[in-house]
Chains A and B, each alone.
Chain A
Amino acid sequence: MTLEIKGLGRVFVQGDKKNWAVQDVNLSIPQGKFISVIGRSGSGKSTLLNLIAGLLEPTVGDIFLNGRSIHGLSDRQASGIRNREIGYIMQGRSVLNNLTVFDNVRLPFYFSGREGDVTERTRTLLEQVGLSRYEQVYPAKLSGGELRRVAIARALVNQPGVLLADEPTSNLDGENTEEIMYLFRQIADRGTTVLMVTHELDTLQYGDEVYRMEAGRLTV
């Protein structure tokens, strides 16, 4: 799936102060490419991903998935695209504590409205991220690296065309970081478009291209 961003901007108004968290962003990612965006905290990385995921409305500009605009959709339509076409790994700890690892991973399937069962696919994904033995374990028992891998498996359960990852390696050691980057590389090589935002330089070597984000603007 291709991802195209044209003239994208988002302003947050606080009192009479306008804060352009994302400003005039243009980006075009072909299918199966692994793109990294590096930027400081507060530079607008998460806002950019929230806009692409359709969780935030852009102030200006538009986003196209496979050439189709995601602008002006109803909540139902936007949620449907986010559910089926986009795998979103949010910043920080993003697994649900009340659900087992197995249920966390298969949960997005049940938001898709499709009939059926994803037991097999869930098992395969957990095996790929090396968490098979934790199927019935609750997240409270897992380490930081394991939690990230649960979130990755979950983002892939509906076989999305685009994977969005918000600082997927923050607070992880070198070994865990390397494993996750290797996973992303594999995912991209199988045809899923990957957009990762990060503030860690040592993750950049795994991507195909690197952009820099500063005060809401994207530069090469």
Chain B
Amino acid sequence: MQNKPLHSRRIALLNIRHSLTRTVGLVLLVAALSFVFFGGAILVGGLRNGLQNMKARLGADIMIVPVENNTDMEAILLKGEPSCFYFKKTLEDKVRNLEGVKLCTSQFFLTSLDAECCDTRVQLIGFEPETDFSVQPWIARVYDKELLDGAVIIGSDIHTKEGEKLKLFDMEYEIAARLDATGTGLDQAVYANFATIRQMYAAAYEKGQRFLEEADPDNSISAILVRAEDGYDRKELIRSIRKELGGVQVVESQNMISKTAENMEQIATFLYLLAGMFVGLAVVTLCLVFTLTANGRKKEFAILRSLGATRKTLSGILLWESVLIGIAGGALGALSAAIVVFPFHVYIGDRLGMPYLLPGVGAILTVLVLDMGVSALIAPLSACVAAVRISHAETYLTFEEGS
């Protein structure tokens, strides 16, 4: 070690190592900035990603659910809170015959008390294979055969071992495939056709599980999904649905998405403002600290000058110190943000109540590179004032008069 050349970078490293208190303070400051920057960017990226997926998944233009269950529908989709609610199956045909309806299908929701796979309750979604247009298109992406009776397709957050069966209400069901993540509550759902759902319902009934309403899957459904004719006025269609069916809630999925998108933009704006404020605050603080500490280090710089260091070398040492502090702070901040954001991303998505899906590795790496760049640059930028001052002042020669 003692034979390593003592160039500016090495001197800077020895300086910051030896002045630990100052270094730790500065590193923590940059780390806070990097934490907000990295964590915020991943969060916003996750929300954007989730929204995009949700758009792709919601095949229906209009969803009809029992009255006052609108919030429950959003809860299922956005927060992954299982619920069940029902109305009569005959309503489906009434909707199908309305003008402007291109496709119409129904779904049946069931909530399991507990399943071996999961810590929490599971949302079971039954669909009608003949009429379904909302679930099967993306099941087809991961499973190219018809889903048989007794088989299920599971969301990405349902954890089972390879080749294992899903055990629900004491019965085992074949897992045909696992869906890609969406970042929505649908990741915690299990899909099956109506026949399978009927089987599950019977088993649940035997186990003594009671539901909010007495509902029998032969005559009841939980939601009617509608795709409108191209070009048909949706508002008009919603009006006629309301007229035809009493006691239902009509949800326009476009509305739900744009509401979510609006919320998301608000969060993003808030995070950008926060990051901007942090950058400003960090620059001012770093600038002050570098200038003030450089004042206290006049003697040190005078000694370096007396040994033949050029003004440029002095600035170089100071700038290297700040670059090293910037890199250390940037890495520390990104690491702590990663420790919070990655393991808890499901929880964060739940708390946000919005579709949240981690960005891909490429996007994360891009954010990391940007974050490290900003962190490594912000410190030397702030040290510039101090560097220029120490390289121009001659006043540092008046220190400590002889006794």
Q: Do they bind each other?
A: yes
| Residue ranges of A at the interface with B (Cβ–Cβ < 8 Å) | 41-42, 45-46, 50, 53, 55-56, 75-76, 79-80, 82-84, 88, 90-100, 102-103, 106-112, 117, 119, 135-136, 138, 154, 158, 166-167, 170-171, 199
Tell yes or no: B91 within 8 A of A by CB: no
A95 to B14, CA, bound (A): 14
Task: List the 9 closest A-B pairs by CB distance, nearest first.
Answer: A83-B308, A98-B18, A111-B308, A79-B310, A110-B6, A108-B307, A88-B306, A92-B400, A82-B308
A135 to B399, CA, bound (A): 28
Complex contact B306–A90 (CB within 8 A): yes
Known: A97-B18, A103-B14, A117-B3. A55 touches B400 (CB 8 A): no
Residue of B nearest to A157 (CB): B307
Residue of B nearest to A40 (CB): B402
Interface residues of B in 1-27 (CB under 8 A from A): 2-3, 5-7, 11, 14-15, 17-19
Tell yes or no: B118 within 8 A of A by CB: no
Known: A53-B306, A55-B397. A98 touches B5 (CB 8 A): no
Complex contact A79–B308 (CB within 8 A): yes
Q: How many Å from the CB of A151 to the closest CB on chain B?
A: 9
Q: Which of A50, A98, A171 is the one whose CB lies under 8 Å from B397?
A: A50
Q: How many Å from the CB of B307 to the closest CB on chain A?
A: 4
Complex contact A46–B3 (CB within 8 A): no
A218 to B302, CA, bound (A): 26
Complex contact A88–B307 (CB within 8 A): yes
| Residue ranges of B at the interface with A (Cβ–Cβ < 8 Å) | 2-3, 5-7, 11, 14-15, 17-19, 300, 302-313, 394, 397, 399-403
A52 to B399, CA, bound (A): 18
Complex contact B14–A98 (CB within 8 A): yes
Residue of B nearest to A85 (CB): B308
Complex contact B310–A75 (CB within 8 A): yes
Q: How many Å from the CB of A46 to the closest CB on chain B?
A: 7
Complex contact A107–B19 (CB within 8 A): no
Residue of A nearest to B309 (CB): A111
Known: A90-B303, A170-B403. A119 touches B3 (CB 8 A): yes
Q: Which of A56, A96, A110 is the one whose CB lies under 8 Å from B303?
A: A96
Residue of A nearest to B19 (CB): A98
A82 to B306, CA, bound (A): 7
Complex contact A102–B309 (CB within 8 A): no
A92 to B298, CA, bound (A): 14
Complex contact A112–B2 (CB within 8 A): no
A95 to B304, CA, bound (A): 9
